[in-house]
Amino acid sequence: MRNLIISVLLIGIFLIVGCVQQPAAETTEESVEVVEAEVIKVGFMGPLSGDAASYGESIKRGVDLAMKEMGLDNVELVVEDSKCEGKEAVTAINKLISLDGVVAIVGEVCSGATLAAAPIANENNVPMVSPSSTSPKVSEQGEYTFRTVPSDALQGDFGANLAYDRGYRKLAVLYTNEEYGLGFNNVLTESFAALGGEVVASETFERGAVDIRTQLTKTKDAEPDVIYIISNSPDSTVAALQQMTELGIEAAIFGSEGQKSPAILEGAGESAEGMVVTAVSSGTSGFIERHQAEYGEAPGPFAAQGYDAFKAIGLAVEQGATTGEEIKNALFGSDFDGASGHIVFDENGDVSGNYDVFEVQNGEFVLTS
């Protein structure tokens, strides 16, 4: 009797399972096209909290806009906050690859974090496209590291020439004590010295530091005629600019592209007047208009580069690439007009680039050349 009941139960279970499986099998047969359009996950990693969060948010807007405009239904964006720190970036990329199974990543934002994450991207054959890491070292990180922003090997040289051409001969540098600042400082000081100028001071501060008085005191003592600020922390830049005013430093002020941020103008106010900033493209006029229409604001720092980083990956997916390796191969063949200019990656995954020169006049960045 017991055996009978068990047998009936088993038959019942088989029947039910069978019934459930039957239609399921039918759906898979019916939707062959849907299989092709399987969801492809793309990661985004950047600082969404911490002192560099304004860059992360601005880039994320560019990425979201690109995603919306491309209308890729089969692409899902997975967002991780890496706080611009190496160790957080490693955690973030491990989660994106192992847990979420992303096939490509837009990020990281800060050079130090990109360098920390790059080996993991290479090992797992997942391409990373950074919208903003400008350290020259990023070029050497293997074939899975790309960027839509030109290397500081170019910008440092450009900045040195610009300062020299404007007649400055005694340069002081104030840079953040991490990959971005160190890399830029090396190129800048070497280029300026090669041109025949003199580097009178080169002082560093921790990213996010707001007391830079002693570095500035030493700088003032060296009597430079131009001070170059290399910083990826708006907080520190605002503090440095205000403290320069307080200490009565009258040298001309130059800034790297990270200084072209509305947060700095708002925070530093009049202390930012006259600052000259070398910056990568903030976007074609079409992109600026579309960004304005979408968010009601002009694009923030690297929004255009973020747009292009996602677009490069999106185009690769449109061409049928589904794995990290296929996307990487497609990226090397990228050739499109993006928001920041024409995008073609060289063998290091770098783009060439031109720089605009802005000057802060009446609380706004004005394009001077």
Which spans of this chain sit near another protein (rule: CB under 8 A)? 49-51, 53-54, 57, 177, 203-206, 208-211, 213-215, 217-218, 220-221, 234-235, 238-239, 242, 245-248, 263-264, 266-271
Residue 76 φ/ψ, nearest 5 degrees: -115, 135
DSSP 89-152: HHHHHHIIIIII--SEEE--SSHHHHHHHHHHHHHTT--EEESS---GGGGGS-TTEEESS--H
DSSP lists the bridge partners of residue 176 as 205
- Token pair for residue 15? 């029947």
AA identity, residue 28: T
Torsion-angle region of residue 283: left (phi > 0), alpha (psi -120 to 50) or beta? Answer: left
Minimal distance, residue 221 CB to another protein, in Å: 5
Residue closer to another protein by CB (options 220, 328) is 220
Residue closer to another protein by CB (options 48, 154) is 48
Residue closer to another protein by CB (options 104, 188) is 188
- Token pair for residue 283? 């976007």
Residue closer to another protein by CB (options 122, 204) is 204
Q: What is residue 52's three-state secondary structure?
A: coil
Minimal distance, residue 81 CB to another protein, in Å: 10
Minimal distance, residue 207 CB to another protein, in Å: 11
Minimal distance, residue 265 CB to another protein, in Å: 11
Minimal distance, residue 45 CB to another protein, in Å: 16
How far from the centroid of its chain's Cα atoms is residue 228's Cα? 22
The reply to whether omega before 108 is within 30° of 0 (cis) is yes
* Radius of gyration for the chain, computed over Cα atoms and rounded to the nearest angstrom: 25
Burial of 81 (0-12, 13-18, 19+ CB in 10 A): middle
Intra-chain end-to-end CA distance of the chain, in Å: 94
d(CA 298, CA 293): 9
Minimal distance, residue 175 CB to another protein, in Å: 10
Q: Which letter does DSSP use for residue 272 in this model?
A: G
Residue closer to another protein by CB (options 123, 211) is 211
Minimal distance, residue 212 CB to another protein, in Å: 9
Residue closer to another protein by CB (options 214, 319) is 214
Residue closer to another protein by CB (options 257, 326) is 257
Residue closer to another protein by CB (options 151, 186) is 186
Q: Which letter does DSSP use for residue 270 in this model?
A: G
Minimal distance, residue 242 CB to another protein, in Å: 5
